[in-house]
Amino acid sequence: MDIAYDERGLVPVVVQDWRTGEVLTLAYANAEAVARTRETGELHLWSRSRAELWHKGATSGNTQRVRAMRMDCDGDALLALVEPAGPACHTGERTCFYNGDLLLAPHEALPALERTLAARAAERPTGSYTVELLDDPPRIGAKVREEAEEVARAAREEPDERVDEEAADVLYHLTVLLHARGRGLGDAEEVLNGRRR
C-alpha cells in the first residue's frame, strides 16, 4: 500500500517509544522525510512552522532511531516506533504529551517504575528502600523469590485483590533486580518476542 499524503503532501506521524509503547509526539512528514528516514534509520519529519525538512534531534542530539514504521489501514497515517536518544519534546520533557490529564494509564506503570528506579539510583535519597536494595544485590534476589512465593500462595488462598498486590510486589522487585544488573524490562520482553517467532 502506498502512503496517502494529504493535499499539502503531508502525512501525520505518531511517534511511539519502541520499548515502552508510550506516545512521544505527533508530527508530520512528506515524501522526502519518509525517504530520508528509510535511508538513514533516524526520524526525519517536515516542520510545518519552518516549512523545511527536519532531522529530529539534529540540533539537540536527541535523535530517534527508527526501529519500525507502520501505516494505518487507509495509508493516511504513519506510526514510527523509535528508540529516543533523549527527550522527545523541544521543552526537554520526555514526551510532548505532558499537559492535561496526567493520570498514569496501566501500560505506563512499568516504564514509570523504571524511570523512578533510575532516578533513585542516581540521586540516592536517604531512607529509600530502592537504594537499600540496590546496595545489597543478594537481598534483591531473595526478595524476588519471597514475593513469587507470596503471589503463588495468594493465587491459591486469597482474593483477587491480594493476587494483584502480590503480583505488583513481584514486578517491582524483579524490575529492581534487572536494573541492578544493567538490564530492563524491555530486554526480557525482547526474549518473549523472540520466543513467538
What's the helix, strand, coil split of the chain in %, to 5? Answer: 45, 20, 35
pLDDT tens digit string along 114-125?
999 999 999 999
| pLDDT for res 197 | 72
pLDDT tens digit string along 161-196?
999 999 999 999 999 999 999 999 999 999 998 998
Residue 16 cell numbers, joined: 511511539
Assessment of whether the complete model's pTM goes beyond 0.85:
no
Phi, psi (rounded to 5 degrees) for 71: -120, 145
DSSP lists the bridge partners of residue 65 as 42, 83
